[in-house]
Amino acid sequence: MATKRRRRRSLKVVREINVTPLMDLTFLLLIIFMITAPVLEYETDVSPPELSTDKGIDESDEPMMVNLSHDGTLWFQKERLTLQQLVGRLEYQRSQRPDVTVLIRADGTRPYSEVMGLMKAARDAGVVNVSLVTQPEA
């Protein structure tokens, strides 16, 4: 009987709840929301445009094609040109049609820096609309 009294005396009634783990969890969730909230503001819609080939191409709206062959030769309207000559031709085309579109078609083995050089040449000529031509997936 003496052991039962000792046990009753050693057991204490818990009248307070330990809130330290609850506060730790609250602060952790607060930190996570503070970090993720700014990221959600700057999301970007990257849905691709739909393809449509319903309208025909006018002669006046026909884009100018710049070709970069596998050996690095530039071709513009079936004529072999240098990069400086290309800038001059594109400036002339833009003076004739301010809304001219330039399509760049390059061989897949050419370095990307050469394609970027063509895009820079079109920008230097004042052309606003530049697109890259790709092959459709099989």
pLDDT of 85-125, one tens digit each? 989 999 998 898 888 888 888 888 888 888 899 899 988 88
Single-letter amino acid, residue 131: S
Neighbours of 102 (CB within 10 A): 24
Nearest CA to 90 out of 82, 100, 80 is that of 100
Architecture of domain 64-132: 2-Layer Sandwich (3.30)
Q: Which residues pair with 64 in a beta bridge?
A: 102
pLDDT of 15-69, one tens digit each? 888 889 999 999 999 999 898 887 776 665 556 556 555 555 455 567 888 888 8
Domain range list for the chain: 64-132
pTM value? 0.54
Strands 74-76 and 79-81 come out as: antiparallel
Q: Which H or E element spans position 83? A: helix 83-96
Residue 127's Cβ-count burial label (10 Å; 0-12, 13-18, 19+) is buried
CA distance 104 to 112: 12
Tokens of 126: 């004042």
